[in-house]
Amino acid sequence: MSLLLSSFAALADRLGLSPDSELLALALTHSSYAAEHHCQSNERLEFLGDAVVDLAVADLIVRDYPQLNEGASSVARSRVVNEASLARAASRLELADHLRIGKGVVKEQGLERPSLLADAFEAVVAALYLERGYEVAKDFVHASLAQDVANASRLPDTLDPKTRLRQWAEAHGYGVPVYELVARGPSHDTVFEASVRVGTLHASGIGRSKKRAETEAATNAWGQANA
């Protein structure tokens, strides 16, 4: 058995799935590979996994952090169920080693994209959900993101990044932050790049959705404001 196949078997074992699982293989099939090989991609699994991750993280927050009210719980969840956090979880699982991607993405070193890794994590969660049920998928999400949830729940600021930046800008006389959005890539693999200007500050962010891109841009601008 080759080293790659051996490590894939180890990944499947950690997930509690068979190395022969068709759903696991599908979860690790990026749309760029699917377009080149005329097969299904993990996009539908990603869609389902997004909902499962969202519910599982909400469950963890309600169960383990009763001191958080509804607003703080919502903000904590948004700090965890986002591209950067899920990409880190995918990296810890070494999912990039097993993703099937197209030649163009390989050429562009696309495996380094947080969006691609985050989508793969959600797709893997969906595969677990479909094969082994919600409880197993929930436990996996909890184990993967427990520390992220703990960190997010300890942060005192309960405002979402865009609201926080807007309030800061208005307090300093800069008016409302101005966002610009650009979509890049083919329709099956669109990535959004947002930029925001606040006074002399200028920051950008990237995400698979407009909301994620603007949230990342606002977070980066806030970081500049408080550097």
Contacts 24+ apart (CB under 8 A), 105-111: 105/30, 105/32, 105/33, 105/189, 110/32
pLDDT at residue number 55 = 96
pLDDT at residue number 208 = 80
> Could you tell me which of 2, 27, 4 has the C-alpha nearest to residue 15?
27
Bridge partners for 206 per DSSP: 193
pLDDT at residue number 6 = 62
Among 7-11, 63-67, 222-226, the least confident range: 222-226
User: What is the chain's mean pLDDT, rounded?
Assistant: 87
Asked about 119 being catalytic, the answer comes back as no
Among 2-11, 119-128, 156-165, the least confident range: 2-11
Choose, from 46, 83, 119, 122, the residue flagged as catalytic. 122
pLDDT at residue number 101 = 86
Mean pLDDT on 172-181? 91
- Whether the pLDDT of residue 146 is over 70: the answer is yes
Residue 162: CA atoms inside 13 Å, Cβ hemisphere, count? Answer: 16
pLDDT at residue number 172 = 83
Cβ neighbours of residue 157 under 8 Å, at least 6 residues apart? 75, 164
Query: Higher model confidence: residue 45 or residue 216?
Result: 45
pLDDT at residue number 102 = 87
Give me the domains of the chain, ranges plus CATH numbers.
Answer: 3-154 (1.10.1520.10), 161-225 (3.30.160.20)
| Percent of the chain at pLDDT exceeding 70 | 92
The pTM score is: 0.71
> Could you tell me which of 158, 141, 130 has the C-alpha nearest to residue 74?
158
Q: What pLDDT digit, counting tens, does each position of 71-115 carry?
A: 778 778 888 988 888 999 999 999 988 999 888 777 666 666 788
- Whether the pLDDT of residue 22 is over 90: the answer is yes
pLDDT band at 1 (very low <50, low <70, confident <90, very high): very low
Asked about 13 being catalytic, the answer comes back as no
Mean pLDDT on 55-61? 96
Mean pLDDT on 192-205? 91
